[in-house]
Amino acid sequence: MEVDILELSDRSAKFVLSKVSTSFANGIRRAMIADVPTLAIEYVNLYDNTSVLYDEQLALRLSLIPIVTDAETYVPQAECDVCGGEGCPACEVSLTLSAEGPGTVYSRDLISSDPKIQPADPTIPIVELKKGQKLVLEAVAHMGYGRDSVKWQAGVACGYKNVPVINIQNCDACGHCAAECPKGIIRFEESGAKVSEEDILKCSLCRLCEQVCDIHAIKVDFDENAFVFTMESDGSYTARDLAINAANVIKGKAEEILSILDQF
């Protein structure tokens, strides 16, 4: 397995993963979306709500706020050994909010009981309060899995495509393929059509160039064991941590299978 990082920022990453099978690449993608546990608000105790939103709408908006997650300190509630899934400091964080209008309530107004656990974005508007409107609530955040609800989904827009391979032979430099290419990556030199090394990754495998080439000089294929991955994190982890956690989840599952097989 080889990883070649193309872009890496706090919230998003793009990399080439090569010498792996399609099922492994898909496993990583699925693990990033569904199997990396994150914190999200699950219960809300509303003490006062005279805002324009119903309690349920307010709870939904709160639940969708990504929370910076410390996977070492917290465990998913269903797997919590301390309380057996009932809720305890090892699997729950409480956040309180109290605000009075006029003004907009933002996610930064949530006061967490654990200073390390904060909303990932401070400026998510929760509700706009008019004069005299009040909001007092306590929200309880759990660790959970993306497969149970989107609010626990750490990976956003995770996807991959195979690395394209473009072969050009006996080109007569007619220029049709370059005119047809929607990505505009085919260039012309004296010897004929060329696609530069870094532009190849932009190819969307649409094969329009193949169709317009009368002499079948251009062939678009893909490498079955190399993938261009794009991924984004919602902010609960950095993109780097999310990919590492996803790989660890797969590793954990593989080890689980081995230990089950050992019993037979």
Partner 1 sequence: MIPVRCFSCGKVISNYWDEYKRRVGDGEDAAAVLDDLGITRYCCRRMILSHVELVDVLSPYQ
Which residues sit at the interface with partner 1, rule CB under 8 A? 50, 52-53, 61, 64-66, 107, 120-121, 123-128, 130, 133, 150, 153, 156-157, 232, 234-235
Using an 8 Å Cβ cutoff, are 216 and 167 in contact?
A: no
- Nearer to partner 1 (CB atom), residue 126 or residue 193: 126
- Nearer to partner 1 (CB atom), residue 64 or residue 212: 64
Structure tokens at 18: 């090569």
Task: Give the whole-angstrom CA distance, residue 45 versus residue 63.
Answer: 13
Least Å distance, CB 21 to partner 1, is 26
CA 61 and chain centroid, separation: 19
Q: Which amino acid is at 43?
A: Y
- Nearer to partner 1 (CB atom), residue 53 or residue 165: 53
- Nearer to partner 1 (CB atom), residue 3 or residue 8: 8
Least Å distance, CB 15 to partner 1, is 18
- Cis, peptide link before residue 37, omega less than 30° from 0: no
Least Å distance, CB 152 to partner 1, is 11
Residue 206: phi, psi to the nearest 5?
-75, -20
- Nearer to partner 1 (CB atom), residue 159 or residue 192: 159
Using an 8 Å Cβ cutoff, are 140 and 77 in contact?
A: no
Least Å distance, CB 60 to partner 1, is 8
Least Å distance, CB 125 to partner 1, is 6
Helix axes 239-262, 22-30, angle to 10 degrees: 110
- Nearer to partner 1 (CB atom), residue 92 or residue 232: 232
Task: Give the whole-angstrom CA distance, residue 20 versus residue 16.
Answer: 11
- CA distance readout (Å), 73 to 76, 82, 90, 104: 10, 13, 7, 32
Least Å distance, CB 95 to partner 1, is 15
